[in-house]
Amino acid sequence: MSAWWFILVGALVTYAWRGAGVALSGRIDPNSALMRWTACVAYALLAGLITRLIVAPQGALGETALWMRLVAAGISLLVYFLCRRSIPLGVAAGAGSLMIMTALP
């Protein structure tokens, strides 16, 4: 079987779900209990992934000390809140501080 068939089927499935989302989006109440629950699950998953990256990382991040990762996370949160909830600035501050700490002896 040709790889083009897999690409075609994958594209059709992707666009079918996108089309269904567009068709149903006008009927969904963003303040409904289901949508609030969905948002809570999304935030919980994100918090779990971030916690896992800090507490039990793999690869190159796993070679850094736990205290460095915790300090970088704290700096990231501090900058995020001080800069009017700017995600790019918070992420840059956390990554930058971790790079600086690992570069120092």
CA–CA dist 62, 100 (Å, integer): 16
Domain boundaries, the chain: 57-105
pLDDT at res. 92? 97
> Within 10 Å of residue 77's Cβ, how many Cβ atoms?
13
pLDDT at res. 30? 86
- What pTM value is reported for the model? 0.68
Residue ranges for the chain with pLDDT beneath 50: none
pLDDT at res. 38? 92
Per DSSP, 30 falls in state T
pLDDT at res. 27? 86
pLDDT at res. 105? 80
pLDDT at res. 62? 93
